[in-house]
């Protein structure tokens, strides 16, 4: 078994195929052989019976055995000898048995006529008890014989059986024909096996070729070449479907890989700006600015701000990568209105005035990580504050949806054009805005999206230039 499992798929399939082929062909051959043999025997016995029936009928009438009270008494060796003789030919021989099983007459006279086998008691009893078609095989001096017992009755259907005719015939001819038939079958089986195995091997090879292509492509991809695809001749069939889904999977991987690379490149670019500032400040200090205390202090403060900006950026990046697996989400059941009662004073510190308007929604319990929810709202609020004039309100509200609560943050500021809108969730994307780009990282909304998605919710932005912006996101209701 182990040796077989070690073989290649192609060899294994071919082997299996050959075994099945042999098995089925042998079974078919055997059945056919047996059927033909049955047919021959049936034919032969029908033939014997057909020949015997009229002879027996004539004999019964000729010797007055019909409709007598005790036909057995009338069965003498003389009358029986006549019947036996009539029933004997070159192919078959007959003997007549009385109701005790004793041979009372034998038909064989001429030497070319076959010998009759001795009667078998069991079979004789069956015939005596009225069974009409007792046939069996016997062996006499090495030749096999078909033996048939015909009960003798005064008239057809009569229950009285007063003797039994034993007809026997040689099977040599049948055996010869069967042998010829068998030989032919063997030849055909051998031919089918050879052709079948060759064709099967070829067919399996054909269908495995695509699989081998798949293996080759896999190898290329595992060495880093994501541009490779499996060439598929058809999209039908298991292998075609496998190749198609394989290609789809690789395309997915490729795009994920590309977006990862983009993310890393963007992150590096984003880090470069603050680093430029830091490097420049240090250089200017070293080149002599350090000799002036006022300048030194100014530059140091600028550097301090820049370092903080770098740290914030790194924290945001970490936040995004941490949320990739949702293991950092610590959900608990929270009543929305209670959450906001806690959150609004903190948010007012950020907004620094009364611009924040909370419109209470219906009672709802949500399953959420409150710290993450706060971060999301802080991000949305700082966007709203940044992109709207000081005298416009920023509204927060929530409503109930099936299975979810939808929370909405709305400002009446500059809004976004369609291009910005289609990119806002991309990490590092900064739209055109009147706000200096150094204050923005382009991560706020991506971070919010990751956080919401980690909860199983969704987030969307509706906005138009000059019309303000509405950001709404959903959080699942708590299940108990």
Partner 1 sequence: MMERDTKIKILLIEDDPVITEFLRTGLKYEGYDVVSFDNGIQGLDSLNRNEFDLVILDIVLPDIDGFEICRRIRAMGQEVPILMLTVKKEISDRVKGLDSGADDYLTKPFSFEELVARIRALLRRSGRIGQGKMLNAAGVVLDPSTRHVRIHGRNIELTPTEFGLLELFMRHPYRVFTRETLLNRVLGYDFDGGTNVIDVHISHLRKKLGDRPARLIRTVYGVGYSFQPGDDAT
Confirm or reject binding of residue 470 to partner 1 (CB under 8 A).
Answer: no
Q: Write out the binding residues for partner 1, residues 118-157 only, by CB under 8 A.
A: none
- Does the protein bind partner 1 through residue 117 (CB under 8 A)? no
- CA 224 from chain centre, in angstroms, equals 29
Other CB atoms within 10 Å distance of the CB of residue 82:
16
SS (H, E, C) the chain: CHHHHCCCHHHHHHHHHHHHHHHHHHHHHHHHHHHHHHHHHHHHHHHHHHHHHHHHHHHHHHCCCCCCCCHHHHCCHHHHHHHHHHHCCCCEEEEEEECCCCEEEECCCCCCCCCCCCCCHHHHHHHHCCCCCEEEEEEECCEEEEEEEEEECCCCCCCCCCEEEEEEEECHHHHHHHHHHHHHHHHHHHHHHHHHHHHHHHHHHHHHHHHHHHHHHHHHHHCCCCCCCCCCCCCCHHHHHHHHHHHHHHHHHHHHHHHHHHHHHHHHHHHHHHHHHHHHHHHHHHCCHHHCHHHHHHHHHHHHHHHHHHHHHHHHHHHHHHHCCHHHCCCEEEEHHHHHHHHHHHHHHHHCCCCEEEECCCCCEEEECHHHHHHHHHHHHHHHHHCCCCCCCEEEEEEEECCEEEEEEEECCCCCCHHHHHHCCCCCCCCCCCCCHHHCCCCHHHHHHHHHHHCCCCEEEEECCCCCEEEEEEEEECCC
Q: Work out whether 361 is an interface residue with ligand ADP (CB under 6 A).
A: no
**Which CB atom, from 214 or from 424, has the smaller least distance to ligand ADP?**
424
Contact between 337 and partner 1 per CB under 8 A: no
Name the binder of 355 from partner 1, ligand ADP, none, CB < 5-8 A by kind. none
Binding mask 416-455 for ligand ADP (x = CB under 6 A): x---x---x----xxx-x------xxxxxxx---------
Q: Which is nearer to partner 1, 306 or 395 (CB)?
A: 306
Closest to partner 1 by CB, 82 vs 313, is 313
CB of 338 to ligand ADP, least distance (A): 26
Residue 414 touching ligand ADP (CB under 6 A): yes
Partner whose footprint covers residue 375, from partner 1, ligand ADP, none (CB < 5 to 8 Å by kind): none
Binding to partner 1 (CB under 8 A) within 385-404 occurs at: none
Interface mask (CB under 6 A) for ligand ADP, residues 264-303, using x and -?
A: ----------------------------------------
Binder among 102, 155, 279, 359 for partner 1 (CB under 8 A)? 279
Q: Least distance to partner 1 from the beta carbon of 367, Å? A: 40
CB of 290: closest distance to partner 1 in angstroms? 7
Size of residue set near partner 1 by CB under 8 A = 33
Per-residue x/- mask for partner 1, residues 232 to 271, rule CB under 8 A? -------------------------------------x--
Q: Which residue number, 118 or 389, has a Cβ lying nearer to ligand ADP? A: 389
In the shown chain, the binding pattern of residues 414 to 443 toward partner 1, with x for contact by CB under 8 A and - for none, equals -------------------xxxxxx-----
The rounded distance, in Å, linking the Cα atoms of 107 and 84 is 4
Distance CA 169, CA 96 (A): 15
Q: Is residue 291 part of the contact set for partner 1 (CB under 8 A)?
A: yes
Min CB(399)–ligand ADP separation in Å: 20
- Residue 286 interacts with partner 1 (CB under 8 A): yes or no: yes
Q: Minimum CB separation from ligand ADP for residue 274, in Å?
A: 14
Residue 147 near residue 166, CB atoms below 8 Å: yes
283 part of the interface to partner 1, by CB under 8 A: yes
Residue 290 near which of ligand ADP, partner 1, none (CB within 5-8 Å, type-dependent): partner 1
422-433 residues labelled b (16+ CB within 10 A) or e (exposed): eebbbbbbbbeb
Q: Residue 278 touches which of ligand ADP, partner 1, none (CB < 5 to 8 A by kind)?
A: partner 1
Give the strands of the sheet with 143-152, arranged side by side.
103-106, 92-98, 163-170, 143-152, 134-140
Whose tokens are 């042999």? That residue is 22
Least distance to partner 1 from the beta carbon of 295, Å? 6
Q: Which of 196, 280, 370, 476 forms a contact with partner 1 (CB under 8 A)?
A: 280
Q: Which of 36, 55, 289, 400 binds partner 1 (CB under 8 A)?
A: 289
Distance, in Å, from the CA atom of 438 to the CA atom of 436, rounded to the nearest integer, reads: 6
Would you count residue 413 as binding ligand ADP (CB under 6 A)? yes
Task: Name which of residues 365 to 384 contact ligand ADP (CB under 6 A).
Answer: 383-384
| Residues in 295-334 at the binding interface with partner 1, rule: CB under 8 A | 295, 298-299, 302-303, 305-306
Q: Rule CB under 6 A: which residues touch ligand ADP?
A: 383-384, 387, 411, 413-416, 420, 424, 429-431, 433, 440-446, 469
């Amino acid at each position: 078994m182990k040796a077989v499992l070690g073989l290649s798929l192609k060899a294994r399939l071919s082997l299996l195929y050959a075994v099945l082929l042999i098995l089925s062909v042998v079974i078919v051959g055997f059945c056919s052989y047996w059927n033909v043999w049955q047919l021959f025997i049936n034919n032969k016995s029908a033939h014997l019976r057909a020949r015997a029936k009229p002879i027996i009928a004539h004999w019964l009438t000729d010797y007055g055995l019909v409709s007598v009270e005790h036909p057995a008494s009338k069965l003498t060796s003389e009358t029986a000898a006549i019947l036996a003789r009539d029933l004997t030919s070159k192919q078959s021989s007959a003997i007549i048995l009385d109701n005790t099983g004793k041979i009372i007459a034998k038909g064989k006279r001429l030497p070319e006529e076959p010998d009759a086998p001795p009667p078998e008691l069991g079979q004789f009893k069956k015939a005596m008890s009225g069974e009409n078609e007792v046939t069996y095989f016997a062996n006499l001096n090495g030749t096999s014989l078909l033996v048939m017992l015909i009960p003798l009755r005064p008239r057809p259907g009569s229950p009285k059986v007063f003797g039994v005719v034993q007809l026997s015939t040689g099977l040599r001819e049948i055996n010869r024909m069967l042998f010829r038939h068998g030989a032919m079958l063997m030849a055909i089986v051998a031919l089918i096996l050879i052709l079948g195995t060759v064709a099967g091997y070829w067919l399996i090879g054909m269908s495995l070729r695509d699989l081998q292509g798949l293996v080759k492509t896999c190898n290329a991809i595992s060495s880093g070449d994501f541009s490779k695809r499996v060439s598929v001749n058809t999209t039908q069939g298991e292998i075609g479907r496998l190749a198609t889904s394989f290609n789809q999977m690789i395309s997915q991987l490729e795009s994920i890989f590309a977006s990862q690379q983009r993310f890393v490149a963007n992150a590096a670019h984003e880090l470069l700006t603050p680093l430029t500032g830091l490097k420049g400040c240090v250089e200017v200090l070293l080149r002599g600015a350090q000799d002036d205390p006022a300048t030194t202090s100014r530059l140091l403060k600028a550097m301090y701000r820049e370092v903080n900006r770098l740290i914030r950026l790194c924290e945001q990046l970490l936040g995004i990568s941490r949320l990739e697996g949702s293991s950092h989400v610590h959900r608990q059941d929270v009543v929305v209105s209670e959450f906001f009662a806690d959150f609004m004073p903190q948010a007012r510190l950020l907004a620094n005035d009364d611009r924040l308007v909370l419109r209470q929604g219906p009672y709802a319990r949500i399953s959420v990580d409150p710290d993450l929810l706060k971060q999301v709202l802080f991000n949305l609020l700082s966007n709203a504050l940044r992109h709207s004039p000081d005298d416009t309100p920023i509204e927060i509200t929530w409503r109930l949806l099936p299975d979810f609560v939808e929370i909405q943050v709305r400002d009446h500021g500059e809004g976004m054009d369609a291009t910005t809108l289609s990119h806002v969730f991309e990490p590092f994307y900064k739209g055109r805005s009147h706000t200096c780009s150094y204050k923005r990282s382009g991560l706020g909304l991506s971070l919010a999206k990751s956080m919401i998605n980690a909860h199983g919710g969704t987030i969307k932005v509706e906005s138009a230039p000059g019309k303000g912006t509405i950001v709404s996101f959903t959080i699942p209701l708590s299940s108990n």
